[in-house]
């Protein structure tokens, strides 16, 4: 599964998990949808880390990283850095997410970023219209799989309320 599809998948789950608290806000202010997508991706990225090779040897916090050494850059850690994001463990759909690294940065920025963001925005917008307010994610039944360093949803069960008998 391409990285942008995994990001979409993970953020869909996050949207559902936090939906009860945030749905009313998004229903009343649809203009927040684009920012909500970025905040959901910042809050819990599908990509935990990105492997990179050290280009030049240097010291970091008393340890030497040598040229050619494989390192893992934590996108989750970067997106939860309190020096960049005040109250980083809080999901805030109005937060400035311009410094989020959910899709990487610079020459390694994900080329599928715009597609993933559009998918998520459209999915959330549609879900706000057709998913009943009583619907809830069955958290204990969500199933994840891992594809290398990318997580993806295998099953995302939702209870839509009592079924109507005819």
Read off the pLDDT of residues 104-147 as tens digits, 9 standing for 90 and up: 888 888 899 999 999 999 999 998 898 888 888 887 888 887 76
Contact 128, 15 (CB under 8 A): no
pLDDT of amino acid 63: 95
pTM of the shown model: 0.75
CA distance 18 to 27: 14
Contact 146, 88 (CB under 8 A): no
CA distance 26 to 13: 16
Its CATH architecture, for the domain 3-158, is Orthogonal Bundle (1.10)
In this prediction, residues 2-31 reach a mean pLDDT of 65
pLDDT higher than 50, residue 4: no
pLDDT higher than 60, residue 10: no
User: Distances in Å between the alpha carbon of 126 and those of 7, 15, 23, 121, 164?
Assistant: 18, 13, 12, 9, 23
pLDDT higher than 60, residue 78: yes
């Amino acid at each position: 599964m391409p990285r942008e599809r995994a990001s979409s998948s993970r953020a869909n789950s996050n949207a559902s998990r936090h939906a009860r608290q945030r749905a009313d806000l998004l229903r009343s202010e649809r203009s927040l949808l684009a920012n909500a997508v970025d905040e959901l991706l910042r809050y819990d990225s599908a990509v935990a880390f990105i492997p990179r090779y050290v280009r030049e040897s240097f010291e970091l916090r008393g340890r030497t990283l040598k040229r050619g050494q494989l390192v893992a850059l934590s996108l989750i850690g970067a997106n939860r850095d309190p020096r960049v994001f005040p109250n980083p463990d809080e999901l805030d759909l109005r937060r400035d997410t311009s410094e989020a690294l959910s899709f990487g940065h610079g020459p390694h920025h994900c080329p599928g970023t715009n597609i993933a963001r559009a998918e998520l925005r459209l999915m959330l917008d549609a879900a706000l219209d057709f998913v009943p307010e009583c619907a809830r994610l069955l958290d204990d039944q969500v199933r994840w799989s891992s594809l290398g360093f990318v997580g993806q949803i295998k099953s995302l069960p939702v209870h839509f309320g009592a079924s109507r008998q005819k």
